[in-house]
Structure 1
Amino acid sequence: MKTEHDYIVVGGGSGGCAMAGRLSEDSALDVCLLEAGGDGTGNLINIPSGAVAMLPTKINNWAFETTPQPGLNGRKGYQPRGKALGGSSAINAMVYIRGTASDYDRWANEEGCSGWSYKDVLPYFKLSECNERIRDAYHGNSGPLNVADLRSDNPFQQIYLEAGKQAGFKITDDFNGADQEGVGIYQVTQKNGERWSAARAYLFPHMHRKNLTVHTKAMVQRVLFEGKRAVGVEVSINGQLTVLKARKEIILTAGAIQTPQLLMVSGVGDSSELARHDIDVVHHLPGVGKNLQDHPDFIFGYSTKSLDTLGLSIRGGIRLLREIFRYRKHRRGALTSNFAEGGAFLKTSPELKDPNVQLHFVVAMVDDHARKMHMGHGFSCHVCLLRPRSRGSLTLQGNTMDTPPLIDIGFLKDPRDLDELVEGFKLTRKIMHAPALAKFIVKDKFTEHVRTDDEIREVLRNRVDTVYHPTGTCKMGTDSMAVVDPQLRVHGLEGLRIVDASAMPSLIGGNTNGPVMMMAEKAVDLIRGVSRVPALEQAEHNARARQEHLAQALVAQPV
């Protein structure tokens, strides 16, 4: 086994796969990627509907739980996190969303993250993306991450859109363009009806590279330091403990839960927290594990007789057999569904500049992250608060990586979050009760008797949980609680960088998978010291020139 590399990337999720794949494009660099889970392959991952078997279980999933939450009437929350090459992109609903321009402008102008404005990050979204349908100034069409329209052909997509119209909302076909607001159908990270995880996008095509080493079943135990410089990692690979050294940098991409945990067990964090667990302090950095943010989410659920929704029934089972054959032959149909097929970004007040709630319309009954099953068929709709004011924290309950951390997600700590979600609840119910959808409802499973604002508040406290977007625990910035600087280098240390959702200073308005890959694309240029943006802009200019030339030639042809 090679024990020394230029770069060691810790965590094979969305950020880690992108970092390893892009850095290893330079044949002069030696890159090693370490992933604690499996190889990120197999039908459960590749077939989109396989997520229903992974999300509620420990299959390719760390399946963390939070501490009891006062804002949720003392309930523990659930925090599924991907455990395989591809990370959470191997088990998620594949929704491709970026957030709004103002999210990134806030990072740059208000949160000390110079170089991360929307103008700065848009080129890196485009470098990442290969959009099959949309070709305009907001999208890329030649990147490694395939973004496609759904191939499920489910008629409930149009029923949902019609309900959105009836409820008075505008319809959009691109949540990632000039204006995010509206009701629409999500684009997803799929290709030919198969999940296109970060591993399939950035890593698997390049596993043959001699300068790229990938270890799975490799649990990093701690980062090793010489003084203030990170020089290596102690890692258990298939149960065997070894030390790997890094000549240039160690890049942490273990996510918003395990990146801060790894820092703390390695001696980097709040010195008082480390002392409680007899960990020697390498560097006092009080922001590690603080600033935890996530989108609090409520789910409406309805039973229906329609077999166009997924569910448990004899007739549904017969139809599923037909869908299996259809998938094998055409890569279309129900097995390509991400379940959360429809979406919306809405404002709870017309005075707001940007939408503050997001909907995920699901063509199945969802209860407790699919951990509670219901007989029959149904559909559901999530509504989450996009920019909550509540903050949580992550602390240790042991001094090794073998003990899960204590996750205090902090949902609904701030009463203003609850007030906004009440209004989001009402907007969502308006769509669900519009005639196009209402005629399919047999029974409202969770909110049938909820009418007053106080009753809405109580059902929210009883049922809200994550929509799987934890961020912020190693935030980027320049203030005293920042963990990394705008180049994603850990403050006060050398040779250590963080490139995952933990480095987000604040939540963006949407799903976080695409933005993490954008961060990795930008981090590659920060490391190399050479920007790929001018080349991208030149390529776009040349493409426009060719299109204009072709258009002129067609006009000039005689009829």
Structure 2
Amino acid sequence: MGGVTEREEFDFIIVGAGSAGCVLANRLSADPKTRVLLLEAGGSDFNFWVKMPIGYGKTFYHPKMNWRYLTEAVPGIGNRPSYWPRGKVLGGSSSINAMVYVRGQHEDFDSWAALGNPGWAASDILPVYKRMENNLAGADQWRGTGGPLTITNMTGSTHALADDYLESAAAAGIPFNPDYNGEKQDGASIYQITMRNGLRCSSADAYLRPARRRPNLEIRTGAQVTRLIFDGHAAPSLEYMRGGRLFTVRTNREVILSAGAVNSPQILMLSGIGDGAKLSGHGIKTNYDLPQVGQNLQDHLGFDYIYEANCQTLNDVLRPLHRRMAVGMQYLATRTGPLSLSINQAGGFVRSDESRKRPNIQLYFSPLSYTRAIPGKRALMRADLFSGFMLGTSNCHPLSRGEIDLRSPDPFAAPVIRPNYLSDERDVEELVQSARILRKIAAEQPLADKIVREITPGPETESYEDMAADIRARSGSVFHACGTCAMGPDQRSSVVDPRLRVHGVPGLRVVDASIFPLITSGNINAPSIMVGERGADFILEDMKR
């Protein structure tokens, strides 16, 4: 890497090498005349636990690859904090997530457009999805091939219990859907994952690795941005800390924040962009009064029902040392077996009641059960001692809204995260309905014959009140935070315009999941990468004007 001086200047500075940032680095540096700097607070993704698909159990609490945020105590879930793993590594959260690939419903993006965001309707973003994908199922009206991001369907490789789950779901009135990313999302499915040849295919693998040898792309890891600087130029400079030294770098075109739903609003606020009253309380001068910075926080909330089984599950494979060694040798020799997959092997999308116009509940099936580790105490989620599996659920369209705020003007202090889960009682009602769907599936054959008992929460939890209390006691984040720099036409109700430019701030965009005005239906890594592609399109188009 080259030396750093105060006089350095780039055409584009991208802050964050995550799901969207890696896309931007690739697309913007494709023109050899354009100089691009990519800054990432974390380090290299060259790590066995990152590359092995099931290794995310190890990275879940890894101090060097994970921001390991804790929210404030949340009244709606029993005044418990919620743990938020966020990627602090090349590839961002796409390097530490469960790899499930969900585009979202067509209605999600039509809703974005209806809020005053032209260019974001389902018909606009379908070509973008197809362009970015190399779906190993082959191209059709909905799927793309030949793109940088490899999509693998786990059908044929999953545990036998996944097929039992699909049959029981069908018996419960949830038909099989071979492609939930196709014409419709409804139904039970085997999940598609971002995996290539038995290895995780993160945004860094798909986009950054092919571009990193370009002489016009500079990648600096271990570089944490502390603030943007506005000094009368059309585009801002910024400061970042690296190796204990503070550096300043300037752009002659744009700074692009791709630091995610937590860190992008944090950097804006540290730079004097946000609610002026709140900023003054931290002693920060207001450069641009944008009260919606950090607001509109959305996340999916989920929980699991745990069952003891009378047949072998992945607990029996991943818990005993000799069997762990056997599947480890299998993976190292062939890149196949349970270590080459996600533990979320099946699931689907359903309507909690017949009045719903589209699916509002996501389902998960995992052929193992595990005890979640305590942050800082143990680095791995540990399979339970008994043969077990989990049925899980989360809400697709939560109505509760939270916020991100500064804890102090110190850029190295973790921000305040207030998710406000279940502050809207309708979210509770929806999740109770989803829990009843889990039990309905478990009661059908062939899964019913494999169940010894429901361990958690247990059959005694049956009334609406008891089920709601259990949800408040046990539910947690599904790690899909978004919306904190929401896109929209009016700066009083949004942070960026439909082309992802920060309202009123020249030379500054936000391109990551924080721009979602409404959360998408399901895992958000696919739409986050799509936002990176869409943002790159806008930037390149604007360069030609």
Which bin holds the TM-score, normalised by the shorter protein?
over 0.9
Q: 1:217-366 alignment to 2 at 5 Å?
A: 217-227=222-232, 229-304=234-309, 306-310=311-315, 316-366=320-370
Deviation digits for residues 393-446 of structure 1 (CA, Å, limit 9, x no counterpart): 111111122000110001000001101111111112211232322333334232
The residue that corresponds to 2:429 in the other structure is 419
Which residue number in structure 2 is paired with residue 466 of structure 1?
A: 477
Among 511, 515, 523, which residue is 1:511 paired with?
A: 523
Please tell me whether the aligned partners of residues 311 and 365 of structure 1 are also in contact (alpha carbons under 8 angstroms): no
1:169 paired to 2:174: yes
Conserved 8 A contact 2:317-2:323 = no
1:119 paired to 2:123 = yes
Helix, strand or coil for the counterpart of 1:439?
helix
Is the 1:252–1:498 Cα contact (8 Å) retained in structure 2? yes
Give TM-score scaled by structure 2 length: 0.94
Q: Name the counterpart of 2:390.
A: 380
Report the residue type matching 2:454 in the other structure.
D
Q: Does structure 2 retain, via aligned residues, the 8 Å contact 1:312–1:377?
A: no
Q: TM-score, normalised by structure 1?
A: 0.92
Structure 1 match to 2:378: none
Inter-partner Cα distance in structure 1 for 2:42 and 2:318: 34
Tell me how far 1:304 sits from its aligned partner: 3.1
TM superposition shift of 1:153: 3.9
- Give matches, 1:28-177, under 5 Å: 28-109=33-114, 111-150=115-154, 152-177=157-182
Deviations 1:237-259 (A, max 9, x none): 22221111111100000000010
- What CA deviation, in whole Å up to 9, does each residue of 1:207-257 have, x standing for no partner? 110011101111111111124844221011222211111111000000000
Greater shift, 99-108 or 361-370, is seen at 361-370
Q: Closer, same or farther in 2 for the Cα pair 1:443/1:401, shift >3 Å?
A: farther
Q: Which residue of 1 aligns with 2:404?
A: 394
For residues 312 and 462 of structure 1, what CA distance do their matches in structure 2 show? Answer: 30
Partner of 1:184: 189
Write the deviation string for residues 75-132 of structure 1: whole angstroms up to 9, x where unpaired: 11111101100000001010110111111000001x2211100011111111111101
Q: What are the Cα deviations for residues 146-192 of structure 1, in whole angstroms up to 9, with x where unaligned?
A: 00122744212212111212222100110110010000100100001
Q: Is the 8 A contact 1:223 1:230 kept in 2?
A: no
Partner residue of 1:547?
A: none
1:205 to 197, 210, 214: 210
Mapped partners of 1:228, 1:491: distance in 2: 17
Query: Matched residues in 1 for 2:362 and 2:229: separation?
Result: 41
Q: Percent identity?
A: 38
- Mark the CA change 1:40 to 1:57 in structure 2 (over 3 Å): closer, same or farther: closer
Amino acid of the residue matched to residue 505 of structure 2? L
8 Å CA contact 2:318, 2:324 repeated in 1: no
- For each residue in 1:244-288, what CA deviation from the matched residue of structure 2 results, as whole angstroms up to 9, or x when unmatched? 111110000000001000100111000011011101111100000
User: How far apart are residue 59 of structure 1 and its match?
Assistant: 4.7
Q: Does 1:457 align with 2:468?
A: yes
Q: Is contact 1:152-1:336 (8 Å) kept?
A: no
Q: Distance in 2 between matches of 1:262 and 1:78?
A: 21
Residue 23 of structure 1 pairs with residue 28 of structure 2: yes
1:476 paired residue number? 487
Classify the secondary structure of the residue corresponding to 2:236.
Answer: strand
| Alpha-carbon separation, structure 2, partners of 1:275 and 1:230 | 24
The answer to whether the Cα contact below 8 Å between 1:53 and 1:59 also exists between their aligned partners in 2 is no
Matched with 1:493 is 505
Kept after mapping to 1: 8 A contact 2:486/2:495: yes
Q: Alpha carbon RMSD of aligned pairs, Å?
A: 1.8
Could you tell me which runs of 5 or more consecutive residues in structure 1 were left unpaired when the two chains were aligned: 532-559
2: CA distance, partners of 1:170 / 1:19:
39
- The Cα shift of 1:53 comes to 0.9
Read off the aligned partner of 2:243 and give its amino acid letter. N
How far is 1:312 from its partner? 7.8
What is the distance in 1 between the residues matched to 2:44 and 2:220?
A: 9
Secondary structure of residue in 2 paired with 1:359: strand
Counterpart Cα distance in 1 of 2:365 and 2:102: 15
Q: Structure 2 CA distance, aligned partners of 1:177 and 1:311? A: 35
Whole-Å separation in 2 of the counterparts to 1:153 and 1:340: 10
Instruction: State how far apart, in whole Å, the 1-side matches of 2:461 and 2:322 are.
Output: 36
Q: Deviations over 1:344-388 (max 9, x none)?
A: 100011222210000121122144478674333421122001101
Ranges in structure 2 where 5+ consecutive residues have no aligned partner? 376-380
Helix, strand or coil at the partner of 1:518: helix
- Is it true that 1:447 corresponds to 2:457 in the alignment? yes
Q: Offset at 1:305?
A: 5.0
The 2-side partners of 1:288 and 1:366 are apart by 37
Q: Secondary structure at the match of 2:219?
A: strand
1:18-51 deviation line (CA, Å, top 9, x unaligned): 1101111111111111111111111100001111
- Shift of residue 52 of structure 1? 0.7
Judge which range, 357-366 or 87-96, deviates more.
Answer: 357-366
Aligned mates of 1:186, 1:245 — CA distance in 2: 43
Instruction: Tell me the CA shift for residue 313 of structure 1.
Output: 7.3
**Match of 2:180, as an amino acid?**
F
Q: Check 1:24–1:31 CA distance in 2 against 1; reply closer, same or farther (3 A cut).
A: same
Instruction: Name the SS of the counterpart of 1:302 in structure 2.
Output: strand
Question: For residues 67 and 299 of structure 2, what CA distance do their matches in structure 1 show?
Answer: 17
1:13 lines up with 2:24 in the alignment = no
Asked if 2 retains the 8 angstrom alpha-carbon contact of 1:47 and 1:335, the reply is: yes
The offset of 1:318, in angstroms, is: 2.1
Letter in 1 for 2:69: F
Q: What whole-Å deviation, never above 9, does each CA across 1:275-302 have from its counterpart, x for those lacking one?
A: 1110111110000000000011111122
Aligned to 1:556: none
In the TM superposition, what whole-angstrom CA distance separates every residue of 1:321-356 from its partner, at most 9, and x where no partner exists?
Answer: 221121122211011121011011000112222100
Quick one: distance in 1 between partners of 2:230 and 2:122?
Answer: 35
Residue of structure 2 in register with 1:549 after alignment: none
Looking at structure 2, the residues matched to 9 and 97 of structure 1 have their Cα atoms a distance apart, in angstroms, of 25
Give the letter for the 2:439 counterpart: R
* Equivalent pair of 2:282/2:408 in contact (CA under 8 Å): yes
CA distance in 2, matches of 1:41, 1:377: 34
Q: Quick one: distance in 2 between partners of 1:104 and 1:360?
A: 23
Report SS of the residue matched to 1:509: coil
